[in-house]
Every structure is written in structure tokens, then in C-alpha cells.
Amino acid sequence: MDFITSDEKLKLEQRLKDLIDQRPVLSLRIAEARALGDLKENADYHAAREDQGLMEAEIRRLEERLRTAQVADNQNIPEDMVFIGARVKLREVESGSEDLYKLVGEVSGNFDSDEIEVSVSSPMGESLMKARVGETVRVDLPRGTKRFEILEIL
């Protein structure tokens, strides 16, 4: 089951709406390219059709995700338990370095923030999910196992 925050749901819905709004624009682009003539050697037409295919695939993916995802309700979660949407301060046991992580349903790709986004389906996310402040979690990563102590939930 896929968990998402209410903010992530809103972003997915907005992205879906934007893509659906682009359908007429892309159809017009295809029609204009078709009007130029020979379709065998019409790069504009083929590029527009490829863009249309990619856009329709993304629309289907977003619709499916919104249909099957469950919005996490943080009201019933204890304050000292890590759950989706939580911002968690962790200390790597071996090195002692501390970082701020955010547990999300889908990573946004925003690298400018102060926190490191971790999806609930990643090894780190699976280890953090439902862990409590003060616990040490073990994360099996491709480069080996690391341990993190949960310092606080912000």
C-alpha cells in the first residue's frame, strides 16, 4: 500500500490537472504538424506524437497512484513515532554525523531544502517507519549496513 501526505496528494492532483489541461495544446500541435504534409519525414509530427504518448502514460500513472494511495492521517500517530510526513533528526552511529530527514510518499527531487527526503519504500524509509525517538534503526544499504539513532521528531 502506498502512503502519501495530504500535501503530496494536492501536488499530485495539481500535476494531473496541468497535464490534462495540456491535452488540447498537444492535439493542436499534432494537427499543425500533420498539415505540413508527408508524415514519413515529418519530425515535428513524430515528436508531438511521442510527447503525447509520454504525457498520456504520466496521466495514467498519476490517476492510478491517486486511486490506490492512502492519505496518512497523522492525528492518530503517537508524537514520538516516525510516520509519513515526519521530519526526523538522525545521528549516524558510526560517524556521529547528524542530519535532518523527511519521510515522504514520493521524493520530490528538491535538493535545495534543509532536509533529506526519504521515500517510505526505500530501505531507509522502511527502517524509519513506526520507529520511535531514542531507538536505533538498522538500514541495509547497497554499500553495507548503517545504524541511525533517532534523536527527535520535528
pTM recorded for the entire structure:
0.64
Residue 55's pLDDT is 96
The CATH number, out of the four listed (3.10.50.30, 1.20.1530.20, 3.20.20.370, 3.40.50.1820), of the domain defined by the range 74-153 = 3.10.50.30
The number of C-alpha atoms within 13 Å of 147 and in the hemisphere containing its C-beta is: 7
Residue-level length of the chain = 154
CATH 3.90.1210.10 fits 3-71, yes or no: no
pLDDT on residue 19: 96
Give the start-to-end residue ranges of the domains of the chain: 3-71, 74-153
Burial class (CB in 10 A: 0-12, 13-18, 19+), 149: middle
Instruction: Look at residue 77 in the predicted model and tell me its pLDDT.
Output: 64
Q: Euclidean distance between the first and final Cα of the chain, in Å?
A: 25
Of 129, 119, 127, 121, nearest to 145 by C-alpha is: 127
Per-residue pLDDT, 44: 86
pLDDT at residue 25 in the model: 94
pLDDT per residue rounded down to tens, the chain (154 residues): 577 778 888 989 999 999 999 999 999 999 988 888 777 778 888 899 999 999 999 999 999 989 988 787 655 666 778 888 888 999 999 999 999 998 887 777 777 678 888 888 889 988 998 888 999 999 998 888 999 999 998 8
